[in-house]
Structure 1
């Protein structure tokens, strides 16, 4: 079972195309998020009805519910979205497309906070109409000074660097660098791939953002 969480505005394309291209199945749950106060209640209700009809024509057992968030209380909106993600059943898929900014921004913040439990995040492009999966960065994990120095060394490479090269550059024991890389992988600040029994390390977006925050 999957729970899809998506903002909804007057244009339903960003909702339906994201769900259909990703793949929706029987007994999945779709939670549509909208502001508690709309500028046009009739158009908002029509958009919800259109999504319900389309999805239930595909599979009658799909559940579609509407959740509202306050547009004038950012903290309350974030916590409402957080609660939806925390209590979602099965695999959670979030679509960060469409809808009012008053909904989209709180949902984005909540999704980043629950990054560890959200299976995937989808984005519908207004430019080319494509649906893409992307990983939101996380910068909440603090690493040791030694691991931070190793992360900086990884960041200074063009693409990837091997453990022996890191140990040489930092004048440290390979076992120490291995320990640092392990903690950086756990924090999702680097990724590592082994080729010909040699580990190659690359910095992630989360790692780049973490460096930006500690260097600010």
Structure 2
């Protein structure tokens, strides 16, 4: 099951691009984020365009509108955080479009739950295309040993577990365990290369340092 969560402004093309890029079928869900008070009919036209498209693809696609009060910033962040936490299946979060006030609140909600999101995207107004973006896990708290490993990888990447262990004077089993934890936090990326695994630092890892 896929759950698509997207800000919704006056242009349906970014939402359509999201659906086309990753595919959608009966049982999947689309959640469009809109303000409680609609002051421009173009917003409703966008919602209707997405509704018409989803019905053409499969009538079992569930389209929902998540309303937030644009005047209550804290309330928006909490509401959108709860929306993410309650979403099922693979969650796709589109960080583009919609009112600026809601965009900022949704971005904060996504940054607070990056491990909940399967794919994050952003629609480029310049190139008119949908791009995948990496959300850093800025909420993670690292141990000192994990920071040492991140610093070592940053200075020597791509590297391996045995090389990290040798440079830091730590057992390979300890490094392997900590690297796995850092990969779970999205701070490190592990890529199989032949019989070895190359390790690189991610945006999350750089921010946490």
Q: Specify if TM > 0.5.
A: yes
Aligned-partner SS, 1:64: strand
Separation in 2, partners of 1:161, 1:100: 43
Separation in 2, partners of 1:117, 1:173: 32
CA contact under 8 A between 2:111 and 2:138: conserved in structure 1? no
* 1:214 paired residue number: none
Q: How far does residue 132 in structure 1 lie from its aligned partner after superposition?
A: 2.5
Separation in 2, partners of 1:114, 1:169: 33
User: Structure 2: which 5+ residue stretches go unaligned?
Assistant: none
Separation in 2, partners of 1:10, 1:195: 45
Q: Does 1:144 align with 2:126?
A: no
Structure 1 pair 160–101 and aligned structure 2 pair: CA distance change class (3 A)? same
CA contact under 8 A between 2:112 and 2:138: conserved in structure 1? no
Structure 1 pair 36–166 and aligned structure 2 pair: CA distance change class (3 A)? same
CA contact under 8 A between 2:32 and 2:66: conserved in structure 1? yes
* 1:120 paired residue number: 119
Structure 1 pair 171–63 and aligned structure 2 pair: CA distance change class (3 A)? closer
- CA RMSD for the aligned pairs? 2.1
User: Structure 1: which 5+ residue stretches go unaligned?
Assistant: 212-216
Q: Does 1:75 align with 2:74?
A: yes
Count of aligned residue pairs for this structure pair: 209
What is the CA deviation profile of residues 4-57 of structure 1, one whole-angstrom value per residue up to 9, with x for unaligned ones?
1111111211112222222111232211111223442x2222221122112212
Aligned-partner SS, 1:191: strand
